[in-house]
Amino acid sequence: MYDLAMPETKVRPEGLSAAVEDYVKAIYLLGSEHGSVSTTALAERLEVRPASVVGMVRKLVALELAEHEPYRGVKLTGRGRAVALEVIRHHRLLELFLVESLGMGWDEVHAEAERLEHALSEELEELIAAKLGNPTLDPHGDPIPSRDLTIAADRSRSLYTLEPGEQARFVRVSDENPEMLRFLSERGIAPGAELELIERQPFDGPLYVRFGDQVHVLGATLARAMRVEAAA
């Protein structure tokens, strides 16, 4: 269930800029799905010019946070992975704290956590984690890296891959699209919900999905973003 490969260090190196941490986090999140990450993919995710990515990648290599092979992409070193997981831990703990303790909506917390994750101290991180009962999932169902920076393996797949009649459990969704999250909230759909795919329209059409006793129509983009696991 858990990736037990330990990173080289728990604590983030002092003096790393928010931009460096953003790049390392983006490489981790993209690389967890695709292995090495292209500079083009990084530019698209971070919404910056490709030339800016090239310059930052050189800096990450110099800091021993990443390795870069021309035409093969960028991947993190053990040191870089530790930094990425620490930032992700901060981000997801902050999202849960904002929802559970401050009553913010799950569609509101991503942008706030993006700003705060770089400033969170190790001491405050521990206080927040203890206050929340050392949680393992954020409000969107994403796993929170543990204190020693292990993280649950992802066993999920896209809801869009289900076949009609197949049942599953909705486990997580990206936190980056507030409108998508509001759409789900308005229909009472949240991680943990059991579902069944009733029908899929052709040509990238919508899916008809049963949640409880109600059937909801989900567009292909949303269905691809929603992650599910086999029903218990």
Per-residue model confidence as pLDDT tens digits over 69-125: 888 899 999 999 999 999 999 999 999 999 999 999 999 999 999 999 999 999 999
Give the Cα separation of 56 and 68 in Å (integer).
Answer: 11
Per-residue model confidence as pLDDT tens digits over 157-189: 999 999 999 999 999 999 999 999 999 999 999
User: Is it true that 1-154 and 157-230 share their CATH fold?
Assistant: no
CATH class entry, domain 157-230: mainly beta
- Across the range 43-58, mean pLDDT stands at 95
pTM above 0.75, yes or no: yes
Q: What pLDDT, on the 0 to 100 scale, is given for residue 231?
A: 84
CATH class entry, domain 1-154: mainly alpha
- Across the range 54-77, mean pLDDT stands at 94
Mean pLDDT, the chain, as a whole number? 92
Domain ranges within the chain, ordered by starting residue: 1-154, 157-230
